[in-house]
Chains A and B, each alone.
Chain A
Amino acid sequence: MSEQEHNFLKVVDLKKGFGSGDNRQEVLRGMNFAVAKGEFCVLLGPSGSGKSTLLNIIGGIDGADSGYISIDGDKLEEMDEKALTNYRRKHLGYVFQLYNLIPNLTVKENIEVGAYLSDKPLEIDELLETLGLWDHRNKLPNQLSGGQQQRVSIGRAIVKNPDILLCDEPTGALDYNTSKEILKLIEDVNRKYGNTIIMVTHNEAIKYMADHVVKLRDGVVRSSEHKDNKIPAMELEW
């Protein structure tokens, strides 16, 4: 792996605060770490540790006060709104805790919403098989379970074959078994398509399936650990 690939995503001295004066709250206090290309990276930390804020800045939907993030050598802070939109469009996939599916589009059409943005989208029917949604492809979101909806949401994110898949507590609203299925799906996607995955979670167990675990607390990186002995998602227990 080249140096460039090793430092595919770099977070350098990143700081971010909200409010002003006495109400000012520093959420990110100077974060530094790097994620390699194709890596499954988990950002772990309790509520208020700044992990979602960090993910939003990586996703180009929020800005830092200082420091920077570079992706494949390109600094996000140097991008204007149009460039950031294009960056999200071409390089990112987003999965949220709430699925935010379009209620009056079918499963397949919701995935097409993602595919439309890409010049090289994945084969949708094949993806529907991979996601286990083939039989539900013509259903509307309100006819699906929470887990199935999250699968659609993942499908929508990865169908454009993004360089980076950002997952913000993707299992936060799901039960244990469904969560494991979703984690397995993300694991499979990472393996199959080689996307870099950055997942925010407060679930300690999920770190065992990651290549790289970044622990956050009070706005700083407490540890950044690369792991060799990953445990498959389906074997995780919490």
Chain B
Amino acid sequence: MSAKTIKNPLLKRVPREFIGDWKKYIIVMLFLIVMIGATAGVYVANNSMMEAFDKLEEKYILEDGHFELNSEADEEMLAAIAKGEMADLRAYYTDKAHNELEERFEEEFTREFDEAFAEEFDGQFEEEFNAAYEEQVELMVRDQLQGNNIPEEQTEAMVESALEDAFASEEYDAAYSEAYEEAYTEAYEEAYAEAYDEAYIEALAEIDEEIEEEIAKAEERYELNSPDFETVPVTIYENFYVNLNENDENRIRVFTYQTNINLPCIHEGRLPAAAGEIAIDRMHAVNCGIGVGDSVNIGGTEMEVVGLISIPNYTTLHENNTDTMFNALTFDVGLVTDEGFEELSLNRNVHYMYSWIYNTDPADKVAEKKAGDNFLKVFVTQVATTDNSVEDFLPAYANQAIVFAPDDVGGDMAMVGVLLYIFIGIIAFIFAVTISSTISKEASVIGTLRASGYTKGELISHYMAMPIVVTLTAAVIGNVLGYTKLKDAVKGLYYNSYSLPVFKTLWSSEAFVKTTVIPLVLVLLVNLAVITYKLRLSPLKFLRHDLKNGKKRNAVKLPNWKFFTRFRSRILSQNRANYCVLAFGVIFVMFLMTFASAMPDTVEHVKNTVGDTLIADYQVILKSTEDDDGNVIATSNSDAEKFSVTGLLYKATIDEEISVYGFVDDSAYFDLPQLAENEVVISESFAEKYTIAVGDVITLDEEYENASYEFRVASVADTGGVLAVFVDVDSYNRIFDLDEDSFSGFLSSSPIEDIPEKYIAKTITIDDMLMQANQLDHSMGAMLDYFGYVCVVMAAVLIYLLTKTIIEKNENAISMTKILGYRPGEIASLYLVSTTWVMLVVELIAVFAGRGIMAAVWIIFLKSMPGWYSFYMKNSSSVKNFILVFAAFLIIMFFDYLRIRRIPMDEALKNVE
């Protein structure tokens, strides 16, 4: 006797089993490798990119935001902003106004006083002097005439004549001038002193009132009195640029390269070192066929491209933050030296942009938003205390050129994960079917092993070994490929759209778990369930090949059909379990093909129909509803209508941004029903995505603030794919605690051209709605075509594996029919025609079931992504899918025919031995 050192000899079967049926396992493994590899590639590349995005701040010193001023800021202003403290607007305005008053008051007052005083004094003095002079002359003339006994009539005439002479005399002029000089000086001094004080006090009061009004406006607009305000010290860096033409056909934004913020990542070449050199964005350069060493015309100056770069604040080339999509074709960014910039910017409109970095890094998204809000208060108050003015203010979290790429990269990972699990599901299912068939074939051996004392557990482990080994091997190879070649392929996909920095591949535990652990667990669970079920029978039943649990049923009596028909019916009946499995598999594949067809069909449908359901052709959202002079912005467009809009979050699978619209009464753009308090109309897309019905109560939250709102859904409106809630403007203002005349912008059927661009935050047109559909089409269209063909191959593999199982299961019977004298063609017609019947029926069911399931899965799938598209699939796509799968089936049938031909006649005899 020997001590027990024997390893389980059944383990040796696994490699032999693999070699014995290598075609099958290689096909399965290849599929797994491709799927796992591709997914691992996506996870590794995307995770590494996400990590790289996170590190942009640290490695490339990505700005926390930037602002642009009308003119260059002075050191004092920048220092004040950098402190992160709000300016004292009242003190500033008061001080400034008082100083100005001080400077101009005396002069203005004296001028005005002198004019008024002289006019008033002259009139009054002349009257008084003339009266006194007349009285004096008349008295003197009468005294002289009284002594000469002149009659009274003559006396009056003589006095009148003497007065006329006196007023015309030189003595009168001399007396007048002497009296005037004396009286004027005395009266002026007294009146001036009195009026000056009074006027000064009045002017001060008027100015103070104006200042208070201005401050109140600013406080309301920027919530300057918010109790949540905290100082946000920042470091500010100059980041000036000029917008120029590049080779006369494109636009380029030229910066000087910085050494302390938004550092460039050099992909090829080097940074500029001389005035005539420029480094430009790699993606744009590739799109335009520009290489290092080429000469480009930048605003009329020939410059040499010395480097291809990416800069962290332009990971996607968004020319304006309001652009829905980036534009790496006709827009570029470039870096030059200080001297180069000086030359290029000479006599040109320089954009005085300054980037900032918080001295204390915000801990999270909420903290970043809060810091941004606080810094805005600091910024506007500080700028207000200067002669400068604001052109732009954009924190990084709201900068599309910074956040678009990470948002997209993150979304893609979710989608690829779902696809992998669907594929793994199919593979697990193919394994289970194959093993189930193997167990039936090996019933005697299993019975013997069980009778000899092998436990069910040992046999389950044994049969589990192959799927586990194959999946594990595929996962290892797939991961290796994913981490090497496929990661680069995935990287290439993104690098063909985005201006990403170079990133290092990082070990991703998420990639490992999702591409190795979860597939293994999936395969393990599916197979464990099937194998455990198959091995539940007693050893005796296995020994007797009695693998049906329960009573043996009598054969079903068939009608008096032709012999071949009855034979085929028996085959159908005997293999019904296999055909069920085939049906399930084909439905599964058809479901995937439905996905591949439905996606582009839906995008096309959106393109064709979005115009019919738009709220308005133009939605102009303003940055501010007041212009620089404080006047409410208006438009002369006769079809324009004010509206309000804001974004809230609906917290479900993801935090979905829901637009909340407020429409004016009797809006020409939206027919709102009568709504009770807290009642809203929601968009059909919103209702469909989150299965919200009329009468349901929904809760929407502020994204960065601790506030939430509950609404009852009154009705649902079809509004072109937007996820939105609609209320009347009064409710809107009440909900968000706004003034009754507040609004966000204009809805219009025609372009609004009389509002300066600087006041417009965003204009949403049909192009914007379509741009997303176009981008989806561009990003996924080709991939989905490819995916569709992969599905056909998958269908072929599935049919191959399952019909192979059916034929192998019937090898004895086929062999026996051959012994009896049936020709291979007849035998093939018996087995293959019945399978074809099944296939036709199954495919028809699959086409409809695939659509049904897809429509349901569509909701789950899109719930993991922002936005919504209603499921749509063309009937012709279903027909195409049917034909493709059936063609694949016919090819497999040909191979099956060859397989049937190859079954030897001694097969039946061998097994009876």
Contacts from A to B (Cβ < 8 Å): 56, 59, 61-62, 82, 85-90, 92-94, 96, 98, 100-102, 104-105, 109-110, 112-124, 142, 146, 156-157, 160-161, 173
Q: Are B6 and A102 in contact (CB under 8 A)?
A: no
Q: How far is the CB of A200 from chain B (nearest CB, A)?
A: 14
Residue on B with the closest CB to A173? B913
B452 touching A123, Cβ below 8 Å? no
CB of B452 within 8 A of CB of A94, answer: yes
28 contacting pairs across A/B (C-beta < 8 A): A59-B451, A61-B451, A62-B538, A82-B455, A88-B452, A89-B452, A89-B455, A93-B452, A94-B448, A96-B543, A100-B447, A100-B543, A104-B17, A105-B12, A105-B16, A109-B9, A113-B9, A116-B6, A116-B9, A117-B453, A118-B4, A120-B1, A121-B1, A121-B6, A122-B2, A146-B913, A160-B453, A161-B1
Interface status of B8 (Cβ within 8 A of chain A): yes
Q: How far is the CA of A161 from the CA of B1 in the complex (A)?
A: 9
Q: Which residue in chain B gives the minimum CB-CB distance to A146?
A: B913
Query: Chain B's nearest CB lies how many Å from the CB of A32?
Result: 23
B97–chain A nearest beta-carbon distance, Å: 97
> Which of A87, A121, A122, A123 neighbours the largest number of chain B CB atoms within 10 Å of its CB?
A121
Indicate whether A120 sits within 8 Å of B444 (C-beta atoms), given known contacts A61-B538, A88-B451, A92-B452.
no
In Å, the complex CA distance between A56 and B448 comes to 12
Separation in Å of the A151 CB from the closest CB of chain B?
15
Q: A90-B453, A173-B913 are known contacts; what are 20 more A-B pairs with Cβ within 8 Å?
A: A61-B540, A85-B453, A87-B453, A88-B452, A88-B453, A89-B452, A92-B451, A93-B452, A96-B448, A100-B445, A115-B6, A116-B10, A117-B453, A121-B2, A121-B4, A121-B6, A122-B1, A142-B910, A160-B452, A161-B1
Q: Which residues of A contact B444 (CB under 8 A)?
A: 98, 100
Q: How far is the CA of A105 from the CA of B9 in the complex (A)?
A: 8
| B17-65, CB < 8 A from A | 17, 20
Q: How far is the CA of A110 from the CA of B17 in the complex (A)?
A: 15
Pick from B4, B16, B451: contact of A94, CB under 8 Å: B451
B679 CB, min distance to chain A CBs, angstroms: 64
Residues of B within 8 A of A119 (CB): 4
B450 at the interface (CB under 8 A from A): yes
- CB-CB under 8 A from B453, the residues of chain A are 85-90, 92, 117, 160
Cβ-based interface call for B519 (8 A): no
- The docked-state distance in angstroms from the alpha carbon of A124 to that of B456 is 25
The answer on a CB contact under 8 Å between B449 and A113 is yes
A157 CA / B540 CA spacing, docked (Å)? 17
Q: CB-nearest residue of chain B relative to A98? A: B444
CB of B5 to closest CB in A, whole Å = 10
Tell me, in angstroms, the Cα distance from A90 to B454 when the chains sit together. Answer: 10
Whether B874 is near chain A, meaning CB under 8 Å from some CB there, is no
Chain B residue numbers with a CB within 8 Å of A118 are 4
Contacting residues, chain B, for A87 (C-beta < 8 A): 453
Partner of B9, one of A62, A85, A112, A161: A112
Contact among B8, B454, B456, B910 for A89, CB-based, below 8 A: B454
Secondary structure of the B contact surface, majority rule: helix
> In the complex, what distance in Å separates the CA atom of A114 from the CA atom of B453?
9
Given contacts A61-B538, A116-B9, contact A123 B1 (CB under 8 A): yes
Is B13 in the interface zone, CB < 8 Å from A?
A: yes
A62 to B910, CA, bound (A): 28
Within 8 Å CB of B20, what residues of A? 104
- Chain B's closest residue to A106 (CB) is B12
Q: A105–B7 Cα gap in the complex (Å)?
A: 14
**Chain A contacts for B340, CB-based, 8 A:** none
Whole-angstrom CA separation of A23 from B444 in the bound complex: 27
Q: How far is the CB of A83 from chain B (nearest CB, A)?
A: 11
Which B489-544 residues have C-beta < 8 A from chain A? 538-540, 543
Q: List residues of chain A with CB within 8 A of the CB of B6.
A: 112, 115-116, 121
Distance in angstroms from A85 CB to nearest chain B CB is 5
Which of A62, A112, A116 gathers the greatest number of chain B CB atoms within 10 Å? A116
Task: Tell me, in angstroms, the Cα distance from A96 to B445 when the chains sit together.
Answer: 11
Q: Which residues of B contact A90 (CB under 8 A)?
A: 453
A-B complex: 4 closest residue pairs judged by Cβ atoms: A89-B453, A100-B448, A112-B9, A88-B453
Which B residues from 397 to 453 make CB contacts under 8 A with A? 444-445, 447-453
**Within 8 Å CB of B539, what residues of A?**
61
Residues of chain A contacted by B7 (CB below 8 angstroms): 116
What distance in Å separates the Cβ of B371 from its nearest Cβ neighbour in chain A? 65
Q: In the assembled complex, which residues on chain A have CB atoms less than 8 Å from the CB atom of B2?
A: 120-124
Given contacts A61-B539, A123-B2, contact A113 B451 (CB under 8 A): no
Please report the C-alpha to C-alpha distance between residue A100 and residue B542 in the assembled complex, in whole angstroms: 11
The docked-state distance in angstroms from the alpha carbon of A109 to that of B454 is: 15
* B10, B20, B451, B455 — most chain A CB neighbours (10 Å): B451
B520 to A: closest C-beta gap in Å: 25
CB-CB under 8 A from A98, the residues of chain B are 444, 913
Contact with A along B678-704 (1 / 0, CB 8 A): 000000000000000000000000000
Among A114, A119, A173, find the residue whose CB has the most chain B CB atoms closer than 10 A.
A114
Which residues of chain B are within 8 angstroms of A157 by Cβ–Cβ distance? 452
Neighbouring B residues of A100 by C-beta, 8 Å: 444-445, 447-448, 543
